[in-house]
A and B are shown apart, each in its own frame.
Chain A
Amino acid sequence: MDTGKCSRCKDNEATVLSRRELFCQDCFIRFICGKQRKHMGSDRYKVKFSDDVKREKVILPMSYGKSSLVLLDILISMFEEQTKNPRAKIGFEVDVVHINDSKVISYQNEVGSVLRKLKNHYALEKYPITFTDVGIESILNTGDVSSLTLHKDFTSTSTRGSSSVTMDDIFEGCPNRASKKDILDVIVKQLIERYAVAKGATSILWAHSMTSLADEVIALTVKGRGSEIFKQLTDGVVPFGESEIDVVHPLRDCSLGEIEKFVQMKGLEEFLLVPSDSPERMMNKQKTINEVVENYFKTVDSSDDNIVSTVVKTGAKLGEPRNFDGKVCSICNGKIYNDPMNWLKNITHHSNLPPETEVEKESLREWLDMNTQTGITDQESASTNEIDLCYGCAVTVGGFKQGKIEWPVRRDAKHEVEAILSEFIIDEE
């Protein structure tokens, strides 16, 4: 890199080249913070002057990965700024929520120690920040655990299962890391949203960088979840049941490269929660779909961030698909559009040619004998209900052993609020 003065302050030596511009460390940090400020510029996050004003309740989902740490760092710096005026009061409070998935994914370090270091590093007691750890197994309490099956004719049913199902049971039939990640994504998203609703939060701040949003757009497309892209990329007020929550991606204009530089400059590496698996050393087959897409962007987009930003911009132009069927997926709770199972049925043909020769007839008899004995042929029990699955979830479950997954099916909406309240409220005020 050719060295020179920072193009912003024209004072300090430049240390970073980003978007064809030279930055010194301070100006670069300011530049990234500016990107976040742009997306959190609404009045909800500004300082308040009256005494009886209620602070906005903001949820920050935290994976202790690079971008969520950067966002936390920026939010703390925002608090610092807001306390500079002695008459002003900080405008919002942050609940940093970590979905603890250490029971299903192994990490090199553990969240507890990371959190202790984090608390020592920042003077957090001055600011309205709380940290919450939600165990991933709490998803099991969100509904009645049932056995969901996707049948060969693309119908799906649920059978009420036992109450002693564990997280391991959910992932038992999982064919590979890619499907595991699909289910984990669904769980994390649901837990965060439910938590936000239960806590009466007014905002959720997702820390995705531009690069990870681009990954999401392509990965969702590949998973058959194209109809969900608009939801993922549209910032704004979204209804969740009876409440409304402002969903924001404050780092959506920053590339992963910039986030990494920020982490380096601020020395945030020690707060990273590092998974034991590293996809670089894996065979392609063992990777998740998101990892393959990520890798693709790395190879295609080495010089500029052109493709990445194009994908995000394109994705942001998408809207809600037409023809909402009025049905909701039993796994991800997403809306189902255009009757996907019927679509699949129309393009897949399962018929066969009947046996012709004696040998073929004998083979068929032998097969029938063996398979009625072991009971492989579908036998429906009385307690089976028909359910609806969205295309993406059907693809995931279809890959599971025998097309089966144990899953907490949500009770109907009326019971929902009560269930959430009883689940999360420990003590009434």
Chain B
Amino acid sequence: MRLCCPSTCPMEKKPKVSQLCELCHCRKAIVKRPKNLQKICKLCFYEVFETEIHNTIVSNNLFFEGERVAVGASGGKDSTVLAYVLKLLNERYHYGIDIVLLSIDEGIIGYRDDSLATVKRNKEQYQLPLEIVSYRELYNWTMDEIVSCAGLKNSCTYCGVFRRQALDRGAAKLGINHVVTGHNADDMAETVLMNLLRGDVARLEKSTSIMTSSVGSPIKRSKPFKYSYQKEIVLYAHYKKLDYFSTECSYAPEAFRGTARELMKNLESIRPSCIIDIIHSGENLVLKPKKVRKQFRKKDVTEVEVRSDGSVSLFKDGNRCERCGYLSSNRICKACTLLEGLEKNRAKLKIDTDTSTDGAAKTTRELEQLSF
């Protein structure tokens, strides 16, 4: 037996049999696993958490040897754990992939600059290269300016559309064809519920797919955390003492997603497995075949649907935006449409050293720094 003093080495104190881990039956259980409420020890928790992600990666053939992969890194817990685990698994199982951190700077003073500082520290900690792409350089707008121009209510619409494109552009700039994001099981389940609640039929079938790619786009996206519970990611980050940024975005969280999240929380307290159950349901949602009314369709006439906002639907995978060349299902992509609206409302004159566009986050940070 190893000689050590019990006071300095608590691990060596023998636990009661009733306290033992339900998997290895030899170490004291310290975590109740959120996924199935199994009481397990720290080492077994690491083992199951990492191996489940590895299994997801292998069974879905997410990577190929020699592939360069960009991790969408926000500095938050999901992407930090993702970068850490991917690096670890890459070394352990020899995927042979080349990992790069890719961050988007939306330009939210007091929020994104702090979280980017975390990503910069992660870059050093994990020895991974980092690329930052900003809304300012891509669109000549920051989120703070967008909110002061278009209001708080639609902030997530703008931010979401722009970020999606920014990630692709950032990856393209680095010559990388694969972006992995930290979307976890909770996010997936939430999306399934939201698509049902909003009646988003177009997204219903594909909302749970682990990898999305389009014929016209060289850049594919994948979600290795698809089956990982958010709570387990938090626990993992906590026990591994990972350095992450834990503040929520200071702009209004999407109100509707908030209610769906609340619903899921209530459901989870009744049945912890419900997150995986919802994903399972989501994977089995199939739309009925559309009824084609033949008598109204003339042959050899290509119909073009004009939407209420004047955009034109093309139904062609791989179509490109006429203005920016980005992948789009319309003649003009959503980001360009949004930008056009924003430009129309941009103030013609601007005061020098104007700080009025700075968001709430900056004020909060300034207030935090006050002391007596």
With A220-B281, A359-B12, A399-B271: A307-B197 Cβ-Cβ less than 8 Å: yes
Number of interface residues of A (CB under 8 A): 68
Residues of B within 8 Å of A222, CB to CB, are 193, 267, 271, 274, 277-278, 281
Pair B281/A355 contact, Cβ less than 8 Å: no
Residues of B within 8 Å of A363, CB to CB, are 14-15, 17, 20, 25-27
Pair B284/A352 contact, Cβ less than 8 Å: no
Instruction: Point out the residue from B26, B270, B277 that lies within 8 Å of A292, measured CB to CB.
Output: B270
Task: Output the residue of A224, A320, A358 with the most chain B CB within 10 A.
Answer: A224
Q: Within the complex, what minimum Cβ distance (angstroms) separates A366 from chain B?
A: 5
Q: Within the complex, what minimum Cβ distance (angstroms) separates A355 from chain B?
A: 4
Pair A347/B56 contact, Cβ less than 8 Å: yes
User: Does B155 sit within 8 A of A, measured CB to CB?
Assistant: no
Q: Within the complex, what minimum Cβ distance (angstroms) separates B195 from chain A?
A: 8
The interface-forming segment of A84-92, A94-102, A226-234, A421-429 is A226-234
Task: Output the residue of B44, B56, B200 with the most chain A CB within 10 A.
Answer: B44
Residues of B within 8 Å of A220, CB to CB, are 281
The interface-forming segment of B95-103, B106-114, B286-294, B299-307 is B286-294
The interface-forming segment of B46-54, B66-74, B168-176 is B46-54
User: Does A284 sit within 8 A of B, measured CB to CB?
Assistant: yes
CA distance A394 to B274 in the complex (A): 13
Residues of B within 8 Å of A361, CB to CB, are 26
Nearest B residue to A365 by beta-carbon distance? Answer: B26
CA distance A178 to B280 in the complex (A): 19
With A311-B196, A314-B199, A317-B288: A300-B259 Cβ-Cβ less than 8 Å: yes
Residues of B within 8 Å of A338, CB to CB, are 283-284
User: Does B263 sit within 8 A of A, measured CB to CB?
Assistant: yes
Task: Output the residue of A226, A296, A370 with the most chain B CB within 10 A.
Answer: A226
Residues of A within 8 Å of B285, CB to CB, are 226-227, 229, 318, 321
Residues of A within 8 Å of B59, CB to CB, are 346
CA distance A364 to B14 in the complex (A): 11
User: Does B43 sit within 8 A of A, measured CB to CB?
Assistant: yes
Pair A391/B277 contact, Cβ less than 8 Å: yes
Residues of A within 8 Å of B199, CB to CB, are 310-311, 313-314
Pair B289/A319 contact, Cβ less than 8 Å: yes
User: Does A383 sit within 8 A of B, measured CB to CB?
Assistant: no
Residues of B within 8 Å of A178, CB to CB, are 270-271
Interface SS, A side: helix
Pair A292/B266 contact, Cβ less than 8 Å: yes
Nearest A residue to B12 by beta-carbon distance? Answer: A359
CA distance A229 to B204 in the complex (A): 13
CA distance A223 to B277 in the complex (A): 6
Residues of A within 8 Å of B201, CB to CB, are 314, 317
With A227-B281, A314-B204, A357-B12: A352-B24 Cβ-Cβ less than 8 Å: yes
Pair B259/A296 contact, Cβ less than 8 Å: yes
User: Does B146 sit within 8 A of A, measured CB to CB?
Assistant: no
Instruction: Point out the residue from B15, B270, B280 that lies within 8 Å of A391, measured CB to CB.
Output: B280
User: Does B369 sit within 8 A of A, measured CB to CB?
Assistant: no
Pair A349/B51 contact, Cβ less than 8 Å: yes
With A358-B1, A366-B17, A398-B273: A221-B26 Cβ-Cβ less than 8 Å: no
CA distance A398 to B181 in the complex (A): 32
Q: Within the complex, what minimum Cβ distance (angstroms) separates A397 from chain B?
A: 12
User: Does B241 sit within 8 A of A, measured CB to CB?
Assistant: no
Q: Within the complex, what minimum Cβ distance (angstroms) separates B266 from chain A?
A: 5
CA distance A283 to B193 in the complex (A): 23
Q: Within the complex, what minimum Cβ distance (angstroms) separates A134 from chain B?
A: 29
User: Does B276 sit within 8 A of A, measured CB to CB?
Assistant: yes
Pair B288/A340 contact, Cβ less than 8 Å: no
Residues of A within 8 Å of B23, CB to CB, are 350-352
User: Does A19 sit within 8 A of B, measured CB to CB?
Assistant: no
Instruction: Point out the residue from A337, A346, A360 that lies within 8 Å of B284, measured CB to CB.
Output: A337
Task: Output the residue of A284, A296, A344, A352 with the most chain B CB within 10 A.
Answer: A352
Task: Report A218-248 CB contacts with B as 1/0, cut-off 8 Å.
Answer: 1011111111011000000000000000000
Nearest A residue to B47 by beta-carbon distance? Answer: A353
User: Does B198 sit within 8 A of A, measured CB to CB?
Assistant: yes
CA distance A166 to B63 in the complex (A): 54
Task: Report A360-383 CB contacts with B as 1/0, cut-off 8 Å.
Answer: 111110111010000000000000
User: Does B359 sit within 8 A of A, measured CB to CB?
Assistant: no
Pair B270/A311 contact, Cβ less than 8 Å: no
Pair A352/B192 contact, Cβ less than 8 Å: no
Pair B2/A358 contact, Cβ less than 8 Å: yes
Interface residues of A in 257-279 (CB under 8 A from B): none
User: Does B282 sit within 8 A of A, measured CB to CB?
Assistant: yes
Residues of B within 8 Å of A311, CB to CB, are 196-197, 199
With A338-B283, A370-B17, A391-B277: A357-B288 Cβ-Cβ less than 8 Å: no
User: Does A354 sit within 8 A of B, measured CB to CB?
Assistant: yes
Interface residues of A in 171-205 (CB under 8 A from B): 176, 178
User: Does A54 sit within 8 A of B, measured CB to CB?
Assistant: no
User: Does B269 sit within 8 A of A, measured CB to CB?
Assistant: yes
Residues of A within 8 Å of B263, CB to CB, are 292-293, 296
Task: Report A302-314 CB contacts with B as 1/0, cut-off 8 Å.
Answer: 0000010011011
11 pairs, CB–CB < 8 Å, chain A vs chain B: A222-B277, A225-B281, A227-B284, A284-B266, A317-B287, A322-B286, A346-B59, A353-B44, A363-B25, A364-B25, A395-B271
Q: Which 4 A-B pairs have the closest CB atoms?
A: A226-B281, A224-B277, A319-B288, A352-B24
- Which residues of B does A touch, CB under 8 Å? 1-2, 11-15, 17, 20-21, 23-27, 35-36, 43-44, 47-48, 51-52, 55-56, 59, 192-193, 195-201, 204, 227, 259, 262-263, 266-267, 269-271, 273-274, 276-278, 280-289
Q: What 20 new A-B contacts, CB under 8 Å, besides A226-B284, A289-B270, A350-B23?
A: A221-B192, A221-B282, A222-B277, A222-B278, A223-B281, A284-B269, A285-B269, A289-B274, A296-B259, A296-B263, A311-B197, A319-B286, A351-B51, A355-B24, A357-B1, A357-B2, A363-B20, A367-B25, A368-B25, A399-B273
